[in-house]
């Protein structure tokens, strides 16, 4: 293991990134930026081809960034046999929920199983995918043991949760502090040495379980508070109070209050999913996570609330949802990005279509409706003009991209259901 530490400290190590999505690709580019040779692994040949030709498939990552990484030695591959060439494997694959809201670790398990035939003594494995506390030592360590490897003795095993925030211009991959826990003190030493090459601040914790729980706490904190403010929005709406005005006023308090904004539901790869990893694992210990589950219920209800507000808005124009032309503005889960994972806008579109609406969407960041497991729309983004805005019976502002011309929307739309608090006027219905 001294040889691995020496290669890391000298910058001569080779890093393998497994999963080249919104988490793995920025991390790969960061390691390449500091002069570390990186091999990117992905099971999607289209992604591999794109990267090896110098093209990006993520809006916020430019082709020039890909080219700089390639010039530094970065290559992408579908061939897991190249695992033999790396000193460290960093796993950044999805951890979704299945149809029964149970953790689906198949991507993690399949990736580790694909690595193991080529794993060798003196390598480091790091898991970044969000998961339940105990995954590293209950799922990964036994697989390494089956191959004859013992973390801390002839290999290293760490957990270091990703903290990417797409669209956040204030914090880059390098600037976001990185939590890390190791299976043993030596594992932790090797893991921190590796990540210190690319990340400005490391936050070591005592165990992999503590690191796994840290990531869940971060996202559960947000999920619960968003659930609270979404419930407050419903109450305020019933009382005829503008919740956004209330939040702005409350935020003037210089202590004891953190403003959260309501919306049409939760989106992204973390907050709608991660809390349920803990609720599932907590049951093993006889604990019911009532706050988390209640917040989940409220947040899951919000797309239904929006659809009801659409029904009310159309009803005020003597129309029904059935047969109405409805344009959803914003498909991404938050503004100014192209990431549609778990986006409430997609659920809203599905619910409206189920009620007979003729549904379309407009999103300058998402030109075509992406391939998804549970939703299938053969649609392309509508170009917003005065004519198209006026052509729909109702517009639903699901994601408040800065690229939208809000004055034009308000001028030409028959009625707008606003889930983000951006608009005010006679033809606006707040949801």
Q: Tokens representing 382?
A: 């509508």
In whole angstroms, what is the distance from residue 165 CA to residue 179 CA? Answer: 15
Is 394 catalytic? The answer is no
In whole angstroms, what is the distance from residue 21 CA to residue 99 CA? Answer: 23
Identify the active-site residue in 92, 155, 187, 270.
Answer: 270
Contact 205, 277 (CB under 8 A): no
Would you list the DSSP string of 3-71?
HHHHHHHHT--EEEEE--STTHHHHHHHHHHTT-EEEEE-S-HHHHHHHHTT--SSTTS-HHHHHHHHH
Q: Name the nearest CA neighbour of 385 among 364, 365, 408.
A: 408
Alpha helices in 258-385 (DSSP H): 274-283, 290-315, 344-354
Phi, psi of 297 (to 5 degrees): -65, -45
Phi, psi of 40 (to 5 degrees): -100, 130
Half-sphere exposure of 61 (CA within 13 A, CB side): 27
In whole angstroms, what is the distance from residue 274 CA to residue 268 CA? Answer: 10
Would you list the DSSP string of 191-228?
HHHHHTTT-S-EEE-S-HHHHHHHHHHHHHHHHHHHHH
Half-sphere exposure of 212 (CA within 13 A, CB side): 23
Would you list the DSSP string of 362-415?
E-TT-SBPPP-SS-----BPPP--HHHHHHSSEEEE-S--TTS-HHHHHHH-S-
**Residue length, the chain?**
431
Handedness of CA 167, 170, 175, 179 (dihedral sign): negative
* Three-class SS state of 175: coil
Contact 278, 242 (CB under 8 A): no
Contact 228, 177 (CB under 8 A): no
In whole angstroms, what is the distance from residue 417 CA to residue 422 CA? Answer: 10
Residues with catalytic function:
270
């Amino acid at each position: 293991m001294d040889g691995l530490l020496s290669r890391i400290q000298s910058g001569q190590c080779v890093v393998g990134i497994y999963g080249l999505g919104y988490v793995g690709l920025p991390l790969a580019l960061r390691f390449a930026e500091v002069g570390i040779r990186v091999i990117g692994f992905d099971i999607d040949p289209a992604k591999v081809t794109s990267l090896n030709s110098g093209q990006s498939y993520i809006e916020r990552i430019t082709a020039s960034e890909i080219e700089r990484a390639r010039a530094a030695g970065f290559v992408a591959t579908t061939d897991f046999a190249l695992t033999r060439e790396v000193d460290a494997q960093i796993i950044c694959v999805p951890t979704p929920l299945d149809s029964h809201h149970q953790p689906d670790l198949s991507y993690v398990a399949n990736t580790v199983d694909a690595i193991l035939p080529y794993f060798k003594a003196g390598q480091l494995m790091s898991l970044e995918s969000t998961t339940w506390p105990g995954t590293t030592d209950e799922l990964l360590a036994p697989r390494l043991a089956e191959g004859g490897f013992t973390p801390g003795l002839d290999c290293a095993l760490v957990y270091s949760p990703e903290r990417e925030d797409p669209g956040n211009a204030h914090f880059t991959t390098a600037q976001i502090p990185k939590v890390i826990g190791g299976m043993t003190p030596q594992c932790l030493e090797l893991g921190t040495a590796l990540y210190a090459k690319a990340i400005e601040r490391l936050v070591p914790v005592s165990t992999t379980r503590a690191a796994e729980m840290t990531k869940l706490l971060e996202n559960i904190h947000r999920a619960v508070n968003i659930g609270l403010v979404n419930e407050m929005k419903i109450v305020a709406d019933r009382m005829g109070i503008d919740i956004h005005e209330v939040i702005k006023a409350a935020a003037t308090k210089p202590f004891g209050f953190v403003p959260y904004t309501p919306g049409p539901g939760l989106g992204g790869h973390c907050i709608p999913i991660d809390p349920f990893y803990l609720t599932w694992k907590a049951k093993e210990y006889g604990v019911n996570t009532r706050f988390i589950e209640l917040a989940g219920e409220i947040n899951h209800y919000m797309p239904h609330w929006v659809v009801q507000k659409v029904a009310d808005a159309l009803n005020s124009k003597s129309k029904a949802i059935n047969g109405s032309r409805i344009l959803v503005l914003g498909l991404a889960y938050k503004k100014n990005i192209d990431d549609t994972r778990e986006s409430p806008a997609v659920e809203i579109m599905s619910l409206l279509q189920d009620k007979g609406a003729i549904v379309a969407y407009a999103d300058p960041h998402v030109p075509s409706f992406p391939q998804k497991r549970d939703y299938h729309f053969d649609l392309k983004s509508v170009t917003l003009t005065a004519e198209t805005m006026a052509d729909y019976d109702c517009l639903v502002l699901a994601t408040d991209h800065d690229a939208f011309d809000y004055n034009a929307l308000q001028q030409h739309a028959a009625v707008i259901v606003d889930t983000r608090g951006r608009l005010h006027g006679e033809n606006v219905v707040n949801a």
